[in-house]
Chains A and B, each alone.
Chain A
Amino acid sequence: DAGVIQSPRHEVTEMGQEVTLRCKPISGHDYLFWYRQTMMRGLELLIYFNNNVPIDDSGMPEDRFSAKMPNASFSTLKIQPSEPRDSAVYFCASSRTSGGAAYNEQFFGPGTRLTVL
């Protein structure tokens, strides 16, 4: 299995530009999570999907952030317009429910390092 795939791995953009991050979860996984990691705030959950439906987006910082999951094998996180404080590493993770205990080990992608100048 290829694992969770994220692209791009690195993104440098200027303030005000639109940024789109992409994620392909592990085949067969029904949960997909977007996280942001910074030194100051640690690992923050932004939003998660179950069967392509957004379940909890309370972690999305503001209206400039949006996420979609048009099908089971693809998700995007968009920032428009981007600001310097959005600079962070963005991780996508996926998991699957299994049995009554909802065993939900999360598999993380390699992350996208975003720098907004």
Chain B
Amino acid sequence: GQQVMQIPQYQHVQEGEDFTTYCNSSTTLSNIQWYKQRPGGHPVFLIQLVKSGEVKKQKRLTFQFGEAKKNSSLHITATQTTDVGTYFCAGKGWGANNLFFGTGTRLTVIP
């Protein structure tokens, strides 16, 4: 079955350092979404990428979709304590309307 893996599983950074999480799918995706879950909260949608090689930015966050549409990354520049949480990628296969959530990367930002 379809699998979406993320690395690293955990990341501790000093405030101000950059952070990147990587997402890899076993199959080609039609699109990929990213979600953030704060501790004790629920996943909240961040962005969707659809096109091969697409790059989108949201302030300090940069999202990329691989050329083969099988991998994606999220990069945060100059982390802040408000960035703390678990970041999930979620891939959508072709013809299906459900998402396959990645294993998540838990980010801790040390003040």
B93-109 interface mask toward A, CB cutoff 8 Å, 1 = contact, 0 = none? 00011111101100000
A95 / chain B contacts, CB cutoff of 8 Å: 97
Least CB distance, B99 to chain A, in whole angstroms: 7
Could you tell me the distance in whole angstroms from the C-beta of B53 to the nearest C-beta in chain A?
Answer: 17
Q: Take A101-B50, A103-B48 as given contacts and tell me if A109 and B101 are in contact as well, using a CB distance cutoff of 8 Å.
A: no
Q: How far is the CA of A107 from the CA of B48 in the complex (A)?
A: 13
Chain A's closest residue to B103 (CB) is: A42
- Does B110 interact with chain A (Cβ within 8 Å)? no
Query: B98's contact among A48, A107, A110, by CB below 8 Å, is which?
Result: A48
Contacts A103-B48, A104-B92, A105-B33 hold; do A111 and B42 have CB atoms under 8 A apart?
yes
Q: How large is the interface on A (under 10, 10 to 19, 20 to 34, 35 or more residues)?
A: 20 to 34
Interface class of chain A by DSSP = strand
Q: Which residues of B contact A91 (CB under 8 A)?
A: 42-43
Once the chains bind, are B97 and A104 in contact (CB under 8 Å)?
yes
A-B contact count (CB 8 A): 50
**A43 contacts B88, CB within 8 Å?**
yes
Instruction: Tell me, yes or no, whether B68 is within 8 Å of chain A by CB.
Output: no
Contact assessment for B97 and A97 in the assembled complex, using a CB-CB cutoff below 8 Å: yes
Bound-state CA distance A106–B101 (Å) is 12
Question: How big is chain B's contact interface, by range?
Answer: 20 to 34
Within 8 A of A (CB), among B52-111: 88, 90, 92, 96-101, 103-104
- What 0/1 pattern do residues 47 to 90 of A give for CB contact below 8 A with B? 01010000110000000000000000000000000000000000
| Measured CA separation A110–B92 after assembly (Å) | 23
Which of B33, B48, B96, B104 is the one whose CB lies under 8 Å from A43?
Answer: B104
Give A102 to B63 CA distance when docked, in angstroms: 20
Please pick, from B45, B88, B104, the residue contacting A105 in the complex, using a CB distance under 8 A.
Answer: B45
Asked if B98 and A33 make an inter-chain contact with CB atoms under 8 angstroms apart, the answer reads yes
Q: A104-B92, A105-B33 are in contact. Are A43 and B45 (CB under 8 A)?
A: no
- Show 18 A/B contacts (Cβ-Cβ < 8 Å), sorted by A: A33-B98, A42-B104, A43-B88, A43-B101, A45-B98, A45-B100, A48-B98, A55-B98, A91-B42, A95-B97, A97-B97, A101-B50, A104-B92, A104-B99, A105-B48, A106-B33, A106-B90, A108-B42
